[in-house]
Chain A
């Protein structure tokens, strides 16, 4: 999504990326990131939580007028009410990429534990 934001900025469209993993900014250089600690696939909030979605949306949109420098990351104050395992954000089947790199993932996990 960062590359898309960069492309749009270069065509004269201001962007904000509402992102669950703001760390990807370090890979591509995202103009404005609104970082949200919500599960993947629900960056605005829970199903049918209209007021919660509105608050996240307003916070993200505010960056259009208040962000001051390229690469700015704003950490939004919202907290998801469930523990990660209870959010069930994963696909029903392991993704093809994860299957492909499963050995690398296990190695990275082992190395981090050491």
Chain B
């Protein structure tokens, strides 16, 4: 159901206590520069990659490390996994200690919409879905190690695959 003029409540699904706490951690406004790469060709001619932070991995790859986080609650696995574009739900494992992962296991497209993107590619709405999608693990608390260990190598692959745009879906 769509509601025109809707203002999204970013805390609607959180309990009030958790909302109050998170709001103490977020400043009133962002002060600083924001990087901006304009798309230089129509979306219908662009190569688009998908990236999620939901802790999705192929069953054939090592899973994200949840055991260390259980021992060290402010540590989050800083690595990433490549997810080929033809991946479907039976191919994946999902590890994330902050969400219910069962819905992604049933239908990967609720988080990483590979099948929907292939449909849009076939219709010419996007130029091409990149061969490789990616998952990293979104809970990083105050560490930025994941930038070097996950995001930088993901970007290298994207460049090699001539990616113009990336849709990012946090869990």
Give me the interface of A with B, judged by CB distance under 8 Å. 1, 3-31, 35-37, 39-48, 50, 53-55, 57-58, 60-61, 64-65, 69-71, 75-79, 81, 84, 87-93, 95-101, 104-106, 108-109, 111-112
Q: How far is the CA of A10 from the CA of B42 in the complex (A)?
A: 20
29 A–B contacts, CB within 8 A, in A order: A4-B53, A4-B151, A5-B166, A11-B159, A14-B164, A19-B10, A22-B8, A23-B10, A24-B26, A37-B6, A41-B100, A44-B113, A47-B106, A53-B109, A54-B119, A57-B167, A64-B46, A65-B39, A69-B36, A70-B36, A89-B13, A91-B101, A95-B97, A98-B18, A100-B74, A104-B21, A106-B17, A109-B16, A111-B20
Q: In the complex, how many residues of chain B place their beta carbon closer than 8 angstroms to a beta carbon of chain A?
A: 91
* Residues of the B chain whose Cβ atoms lie less than 8 Å from the Cβ of A112: 16, 20
Q: Which of A6, A17, A44, A57 contacts B170 (CB 8 A)?
A: A17
Q: Which chain A residues border B92 with CB–CB below 8 Å?
A: none
- Whether B99 contacts A89 by the Cβ 8 Å rule is yes
Chain B residues with Cβ under 8 A from A40's Cβ? 13, 98-99, 171
* Set B17, B99, B146, B166: member contacting A109, Cβ < 8 A: B17
Determine the distance from Cα of A105 to Cα of B95 in the docked complex, in whole angstroms.
Answer: 25
Q: Are B164 and A13 in contact (CB under 8 A)?
A: yes
* Bound Cα distance from A100 to B150, whole angstroms: 26
- Contact of B10 with A31 in the complex, beta carbons under 8 Å: no
Please count the residue pairs between chain A and chain B whose beta carbons lie under 8 angstroms apart in the complex.
Answer: 265
| Chain B interface residues (CB < 8 Å from chain A) | 1-13, 16-18, 20-30, 32-39, 42-43, 46, 48-49, 51, 53-54, 69-70, 72-74, 96-101, 103-104, 106-107, 109-111, 113, 115-117, 119-120, 125-126, 136, 138-139, 141, 144, 146-147, 150-152, 155, 158-159, 163-171
Q: Is the CB of A16 within 8 A of B168?
A: yes
Q: How far is it, in angstroms, between the C-alpha of A44 and the C-alpha of B168 when the chains are bound?
A: 11
- Taking CB atoms, residues of chain B closer than 8 Å to A37 are 6, 8-10, 12
B111 touches A76 (CB 8 A): no
